[in-house]
Structure 1
């Protein structure tokens, strides 16, 4: 009378939910919220830059001449457009839309690049934006549980 061993030979099925995915799954929710909030703040930042050209000043004494030195109105439009798209994608992530994951990764990459170029204007906020963008990319690339068929 032999019984089958509880652990039969063969490949183990992947675990859909487990301790290793908790951070990633929580991170996806956090990524959606952060993209939504960062998008709204980007819109406000953009409106401030468009409305008044002297809101953000580049200090040449501190940085010298800056390669990515644009007119503040141009930076305002960049932040406004990117903010709208990031906020919509963050909302899509919160709704569980499949398109939002890939779009979120791409937009978070653009967000990181834009904030890197924005460093001389707002160094602390730009550094926070870069860190959040990297975390959003990590969380969207790591959590596969919500998007697997």
Structure 2
């Protein structure tokens, strides 16, 4: 009988500890969530955002400027428009972006860590190379990694 009473007391104590632990865990989760939201809001309002989005002459296209830390996180790589011996323009396949309407684009980088979407017309795709029938001139710097993330920033997906 004494054993049963001791066991009953131990179980009640255990339940109280677990209830306190659950309350503590919920409070900690709420604090972490609040801190994350405040940090994100502070980044937006104080200019510490990972990217700056600016208008261009075309209302549908924005200029994206990344912070060095954001570029590092996204694994940004820059390549150049090349030409084959016949003069056809070539860009890396990873540079090409297809929008929802099926139009094809590349992000042109005229300044370090700044990108503006430019239209391209694809002639042929061979392996990792895309041959263009129209696009930026040879030597133009284009974004070769991080294209979907930059597009998401431009059109505010996930913001």
More strand by share: 2
Higher relative contact order, chain-length normalized (CA < 8 Å, sep 6+): 1
TM-score, with structure 1 as normaliser:
0.31
TM-score, with structure 2 as normaliser:
0.30
